[in-house]
């Protein structure tokens, strides 16, 4: 089993912690031309003629393979009690996604891209992988992306992530996911309908990395 880091925004970290996010989609980027074919398990997968040989090869997913583990990078800081620790790895740590600055040692949060492995608290085990067009996402898969429903009730609508007031709620899971995607990747990103990796996962055993009481 290999481990790789993966970045998530604050809302998605909260969805991971709540157990409502079990999928993520990442734009499929390859260095040379490729096509798609169906593998033995029925999933679409990119393949290409390797530039250094005459063989056609299945392209690897940068997030890993089924059975590999992802460790989540999120915005973080040292907890106040870290002053007494002998090593940086001992923490404790606080996390911006938890919605509090209490117990934070420094004035600024450390961006998620700079989170070291030893500050991580969320591990994800990859259970399935496939490639598909972004707009092929179903309502069921959109909900698995961790989108937020109003007052915890799907009949009340789903969050519009482009609305900064928090007052507008999308009518369907797909519309909500579209707003989430565009809030991260830009206003024209949904219309481009890129090929994406679909990574399904389940939460691994939680790590005890939170602030000490």
Q: What is the pLDDT of residue 166?
A: 76
Residue 132 pLDDT > 60, yes or no? yes
More confident residue, 163 or 30: 163
What pLDDT, in 10s, does the model give residues 6-16?
Answer: 999 999 999 99
Residue 70 pLDDT > 90, yes or no? yes
Over range 92-118, report the average pLDDT. Answer: 91
Pairwise CA distance, residues 187 & 181, whole Å = 9
210: tokens are 């939170």
Percentage of the chain modeled with pLDDT above 90: 62
76: tokens are 């973080």
The domains located in the chain, with CATH, are 3-74+122-203 (2.30.130.30), 75-113 (no CATH)
Pairwise CA distance, residues 109 & 69, whole Å = 26
What pLDDT, in 10s, does the model give residues 139-151?
Answer: 999 999 999 988 7
- Lowest model confidence (mean pLDDT) among 23-27, 86-90, 126-130, 139-143: 86-90
Pairwise CA distance, residues 39 & 137, whole Å = 20
Q: What is the pLDDT of residue 212?
A: 39
Over range 46-68, report the average pLDDT. Answer: 82
Q: How confident is the model at residue 152 (pLDDT cuts 50, 70, 90)?
A: confident
Please report, to the nearest 10 degrees, the dihedral formed by the alpha carbons of residues 1, 195, 187, 10 taken in order: -10
What pLDDT, in 10s, does the model give residues 34-50?
Answer: 788 888 888 888 887 76
Q: What is the pLDDT of residue 207?
A: 54
Question: Which of these, 130, 123, 103, lies nearest to 195 by C-alpha position?
Answer: 130
Q: What is the pLDDT of residue 82?
A: 84
Tokens 């499929």 found at: 28
41: tokens are 């398990």
Q: What is the pLDDT of residue 208?
A: 47
């Amino acid at each position: 089993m290999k481990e790789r880091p993966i970045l998530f925004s604050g809302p998605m970290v909260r969805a991971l912690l709540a157990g409502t996010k079990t999928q993520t989609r990442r734009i499929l980027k390859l260095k040379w031309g490729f096509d798609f074919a169906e593998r033995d398990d029925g999933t679409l997968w990119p393949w290409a003629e390797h530039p250094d040989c005459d063989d056609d090869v299945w392209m690897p997913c940068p997030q890993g393979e089924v059975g590999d583990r992802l460790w989540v990078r999120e915005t973080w800081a040292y907890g106040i009690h870290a002053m007494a620790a002998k090593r940086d790895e001992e923490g404790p740590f606080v996390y911006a996604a938890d919605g509090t600055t209490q117990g934070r040692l420094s004035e600024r949060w450390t961006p998620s891209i700079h989170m070291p492995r030893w500050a991580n608290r969320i591990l994800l085990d990859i259970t399935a992988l496939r490639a598909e067009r972004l707009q092929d996402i179903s309502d069921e898969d959109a909900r698995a992306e961790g989108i937020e429903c109003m007052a915890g009730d799907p009949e009340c609508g789903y969050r519009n992530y482009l609305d900064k007031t928090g007052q507008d709620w999308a009518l369907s899971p797909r519309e909500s996911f579209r707003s989430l995607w565009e809030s991260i990747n830009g206003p024209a990103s949904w219309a481009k309908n890129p090929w994406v990796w679909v990574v399904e996962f389940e939460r691994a055993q939680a790590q005890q990395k939170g602030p000490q009481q």
